[in-house]
Amino acid sequence: MSADDTSGLSSITGIHTVVVPVADMDQALAFWTGALGFEVQMDSPFGEGQHWVEVAAHDADAAATTIGLMSGSGLPTGVNTGIRLSTSDAAAAWRALADGGVDVDDLLSLPGAPPMFTFRDGDGNELVVVEIAP
């Protein structure tokens, strides 16, 4: 298939879930639902000794991309996930997370880029919050 031929891909309509490996599901859920205010969308055992929980931003619509927290998979934790979360006010989000004890880096304001910052969950997985104009 050439780069210009997308006929075989026309049934792909979006991104459903991205995965973040976690060592302790209870700790991860406390972080994602407590510190970040996300809501559990699905909670299920997944294979032998594995646990799968999907979380999404508060009041996300049914088509929103979820984050799949997966424990017991053997995948490494403490990684840069590449996930970018959005907010309408990066400074307020930074303050709220920092005040809540979350490991946050400095708020960046780079020329030509929106305000953003990196933070880490309890396993050291890195995520970025980016301000998106309303």
Per-residue pLDDT 10s for the chain (134 aa) are: 455 655 666 788 788 999 999 999 999 999 999 999 999 999 998 778 899 999 999 988 888 899 999 999 899 999 999 999 999 999 999 999 999 999 999 999 999 999 999 999 999 999 999 999 87
Q: Please give the Cα distance from 55 to 35 (Å, whole number).
A: 13
Residue 83: C-alpha distances to residues 9, 11, 80, 129 (Å)? 23, 24, 8, 9
CB of 94 within 8 A of CB of 129? yes
Amino acid at residue number 41 = Q
pTM value is 0.87
User: What 3-state DSSP class applies to 7?
Assistant: helix
**Other C-beta atoms within 10 Å of 36: how many?**
22
